[in-house]
Amino acid sequence: MTREKRGIEMVDIIHRVGVKGAALDDVYQAVATVDGLAGWWTVDTTGSADVGGVLEFRFPEGGFDMVVLESEPGRSVLWEVVDGPPEWIGTTVRWELKQEGDYVIVLFAHEGWRERVEFMSHCSTKWATFLMSLKQLVETGAGAPAPHDVRISDWH
């Protein structure tokens, strides 16, 4: 969806982390496979990470279903949210990877929010802590996926 089509009110969450001493494929495996995702986002990850498949992420508080729209080894992954909190449905989650020196850079974007609600602020911070969990998983072998995730507030 282009920004023009989306209109003025749509807003995005964006982040950038660098995974030290990693290969592009290590980070790709962490965002493009069920086992990888279970290692840093939520241990209760099931479904198919193939293009056209549906990934089911479950947390103590609820969950999300994502259709995998794109998955290019070592480069990018794109999901569309098809079930979950109403604010999330129809939004997309984009992962772009690139090598910069000793780091694999992860450019993350959760795009297409219809309005800038308080829940979006919560999700922005929560994504950041999960991206740090992804970084730790690849760098050290152990992330902090739910239900062992970092608590940031009363909304968990």
Beta strand 62-72 with 54-59 is antiparallel
Give the residue, chosen from 27, 97, 108, 138, that forms a contact with a copy of itself under the rule CB under 8 A: 108
Between the CA of residue 100 and those of 23, 28, 77, 97, 130, what are the distances in Å? 10, 15, 19, 10, 21
Does 135 help bind a copy of itself (rule: CB under 8 A)?
yes
Q: Which is nearer to a copy of itself, 19 or 67 (CB)?
A: 19
Q: Which of 15, 58, 94, 114 binds a copy of itself (CB under 8 A)?
A: 15
Cβ(96)–Cβ(75) below 8 Å: yes
Is residue 101 near a copy of itself by the rule CB under 8 A?
yes
Helices (H), the chain: 3-6, 24-32, 34-38, 118-140
Contacting residues toward a copy of itself, per CB under 8 A: 3, 8, 11-18, 100-103, 105, 107-109, 116, 118, 120-122, 124-125, 128-129, 131-132, 135, 150, 152-155
